[in-house]
Amino acid sequence: MLDPASFHSAIAFAFEAVGGIGAAAKICNRSSQALNKWRQAGCLPRTDYTGETKYAHLLATAAEQKGNAFQAIWLLNASAPHKAAA
């Protein structure tokens, strides 16, 4: 089982938990380039936090099937975008 603490971000862990960025792209029906942007930003798209999409849930379900379970809410909380101070 993978250890989330050994990855630089929750997003990187989630991608590895499902079999890599290519597998994650297929699961989310997005391009690898799009997911690489998520990884670089360290957060999922805004739409996942507003409930318009369910990428965290898709990734969590796939990771559980691979034996690397995590909760979708954990991924959302651990990778939430940080608001800049005004």
> Would you state the pLDDT for residue 7?
82
The mean pLDDT of 59-63, rounded to a whole number, is 97
Burial 44-71 (b: 16+ CB within 10 A, else e): bbeebbeeebebbebbbebbeeeebebe
Residue 86: pLDDT above 60?
no
pTM above 0.75, yes or no: yes
Domain 7-78 listed as CATH 1.10.260:
yes
What is the rounded distance in angstroms from the CA atom of residue 48 to the CA atom of residue 68?
Answer: 21
Question: 85: pLDDT confidence band, cut at 50, 70 and 90?
Answer: low
Q: How does residue 15 score in pLDDT terms, banded at 50, 70 and 90?
A: very high
Q: Is the pLDDT of residue 1 over 90?
A: no
